Structures are given as structure tokens and as C-alpha cells.
Amino acid sequence: QVQFVESGGGLVQPGGSLRLSCAASGFTFSSVRMSWYRQAPGKERELVARITSGSGTTNYADSVKGRFTISRDNAKNTVYLRMNRLKPEDTAVYYCNTHPASDYWGQGTQVTVSS
């Protein structure tokens, strides 16, 4: 059974940092592209960052480029999202999934950026 368990969210002041983690299971993690998505209140879910399975090539949404870094540890079946210089508009529930996204979604982890 495919499963994603996200963690690491919280309340942070503007300009702060967080590191999100996502433990994946139920498929061959090392062979699959992975992504982070987010959904803000009243908005559709959007793609934030993705990483390939082999070379680890990364891509980012323009809104987070230069501030967020996606990485993966295939030995731990885990994908990470390092978020620096956070802004209030980064407030959302963050999810990981494959890329393209599967039909399985975890609970997500809430990130709130507020003073």
C-alpha cells in the first residue's frame, strides 16, 4: 500500500526556516520522481518542487526558487524540503507525492508563517 507521512511543519516567523520530511512506502522509492505540493486555504493544490530519481535534478515553482531546496535519501525512502526565508504567503499544508502525483495522499504537514 502506497503511503506518505509528512512531518516537520509548524509556526515560524517571516524570514525563518523549516525542514520538512516525508517518509514514503509501498513502492520502489529510488526509481520514482518525487515532488512536494502545497495547498493554501481557499486555493488549489500546487506543485512546489520536484526531484528526479537518478541524477537528482530539481525544479521549483517560481514563487519558491532560490529559497526552497528539495532533496532525497533513497536509503531511507525519504524526501525533504528545506525552506528558507519563509514568507506569509508560504502558509499552507504541504504534501509529498510522486511525480506525476498518485491517487494516494498523506495527511500533510501545516506550515504557518506569521509574526
Would you state the pLDDT for residue 70? 98
Would you state the pLDDT for residue 55? 78
Residue 3 CA from chain centroid, whole number: 15
The 10s digit of each residue's pLDDT in 10-63 is 999 999 999 999 999 999 999 999 999 999 999 999 999 999 997 789 999 999
Would you state the pLDDT for residue 54? 79
Asked whether the beta carbons of 83 and 19 are under 8 A apart, the reply is: yes
The span from the CA of 79 to the CA of 29, in Å, is 10
Lookup: cell for 66: 532560490
Would you state the pLDDT for residue 12? 98
5 exposed, middle or buried (CB, 10 Å; 0-12, 13-18, 19+)?
Answer: middle
The span from the CA of 111 to the CA of 67, in Å, is 15
